[in-house]
Structure 1
């Protein structure tokens, strides 16, 4: 097995930032990614615009120039490709990590293509691969989507959008504006306060005027080929339906992390245990970086506020390597 100083799992922006810091430090490293480069960003809606401005998404001192202050998905993909080219980063794409086993200070990383050893591991895992399921009959029907790409396929269709956060609101507004008949099914009694401040009045006004129908304090009971059965405060209702877009959120790969030996705090967010100054977990030599640090609180860490994790981790790795030589 090839031995690395550092193996980074995840080729998102923070994983790339970790790779850059490892390369700057002269460490032997590689970045392993189960899908394409910045896999999560690639799966974002085609017309998505970031919350952050372009300079706050920069890594590796590579300038990020966008047409507007807040870049879109296309510009971000182009930028992170350019970062990889500029730094000539070592990447292993389309190679899923299945297990990490820690023995005597070394970590064995097993993928679908082989095995590697590393003195340190950085888990720069996203959360966009594991959607929260509805766990209702009919959820496996082809018309049920947990990911949204663009509005065109839903023109002239009867859409049920599930959720009340940013993704659900964006999907409801965009599909409605492109000719879909949209109904929202929302567990809560209102649109969430966390929805973007410039979008929240828009969705509330569309609901108020009846352009977009909404059932609050409601939930889906069953999904059929041509209908959706929902439970509302006024009783059960059947909606004629062509597609269900379940924008119910996503979660980190907790099972994979637990199998790697990582512990979790006893809190409502299933927050992983790690040192906030070094980002090292309870497993010596395994570090966390990026959004995965927040557990279920996936809105705690973003690209702009977790870029610093890369420098913190590599600094601690170098310190450990130095201490071992003494």
Structure 2
């Protein structure tokens, strides 16, 4: 019988394992993908908004060679943290079900069955993209994830979205030789939360015409060689090779509901939990990290949710001591 079963081997899930280890609690961290799977799936050349010290966990220093750490540096750092603490991590092992049996839980994964007194969900939000729900979205040319610019050299690229990911993709594909880069933006301006050192760059590229932008617009149909968009000036059809839909991602609400976790009725569908203990309406199940914000995925980051691990483990340790 484990004291704690952690679902998600991202930075916050790892932090939970560290805090459990500090308190002598038995635990396992399970992830359906690789270590820090979300960070691994970020664009290859991504730079974090946070400084390296704000990404640290487990008192392991994060030394970056840049003012802001990069994706490769973060991957190296979290591998080092996992090795330094000798964390009990099981990767590529999806969780199929979590069932409450009296005062403990039975967790079934693709490889084994576990029993645990407490479960922590640190699953993030990167697995389910917001879909456009337009004809042609299932074509191979439509991508909801972006890795690097090379495949789009010489191509006509349409980027949907003007948050950090959309802006980064537009600038990188433009600079790496895309034949034409066009942005389709729902709002009338570039997102206010775009990284401050990037925002003037994209605004100037749009102003000079290097990147075409359609504001207050949306895609209505995608075909093999064309895209239809509705703009304030009416319908337009553009020649197109690839659509990069950087429309954001959302947590798996169906997974939460399968454990009887209540979802709030607010605009962000915030999972019901006590913000002082991080415990959900299901006693013994806790939330940690970005999943606590529901659809408001910009509320919690590594830097401001690291504390969740300490709060949760302190509560569990007291409960187990009784």
Aligned partner of 2:38 in structure 1 is 40
Aligned partner of 1:230 in structure 2 is 229
Q: For 2:99 and 2:195, how far apart are their aligned partners in 1?
A: 41
Aligned partner of 1:220 in structure 2 is 219
Query: TM-score, normalised to structure 2's length?
Result: 0.98
Aligned partner of 1:129 in structure 2 is 127
Q: CA deviation at 1:151?
A: 0.8
Q: For 2:170 and 2:128, how far apart are their aligned partners in 1?
A: 22
**Structure 2 segments unaligned to the other structure (5+ residues):** none
Aligned partner of 1:94 in structure 2 is 92
Q: For 1:89 and 1:32, how far apart are their aligned partners in 2?
A: 11
- The runs of 4+ residues in structure 1 deviating greater than 6 Å are none
Q: For 1:240 and 1:154, how far apart are their aligned partners in 2?
A: 15
Aligned partner of 2:239 in structure 1 is 240
Q: Alignment partner of 1:221: what SS? A: strand
Q: CA deviation at 1:69?
A: 2.7
1:68-147 equivalence runs, <5 A: 68-147=66-145
Query: Is 2:253 the partner of 1:254?
Result: yes
Count of matched residue positions in the alignment of Structure 1 and Structure 2: 321
Q: For 2:192 and 2:302, how far apart are their aligned partners in 1?
A: 22
1:303-318 equivalence runs, <5 A: 303-318=302-317
Q: CA RMSD in A?
A: 0.8
Aligned partner of 1:207 in structure 2 is 206
Question: Which 10-residue stretch deviates more, 185-194 or 141-150?
Answer: 185-194
Aligned partner of 1:278 in structure 2 is 277
Q: For 1:33 and 1:104, how far apart are their aligned partners in 2?
A: 25
Aligned partner of 1:268 in structure 2 is 267
Q: Alignment partner of 2:317: what SS? A: helix
Q: For 1:39 and 1:165, how far apart are their aligned partners in 2?
A: 21
> What is the CA deviation profile of residues 218-258 of structure 1, one whole-angstrom value per residue up to 9, with x for unaligned ones?
11111111111111122211110010000000001111001
Q: For 1:131 and 1:308, how far apart are their aligned partners in 2?
A: 27
Query: TM-score, normalised to structure 1's length?
Result: 0.97
Q: Alignment partner of 1:230: what SS? A: strand
Q: Alignment partner of 2:118: what SS? A: strand
Q: Alignment partner of 1:128: what SS? A: coil
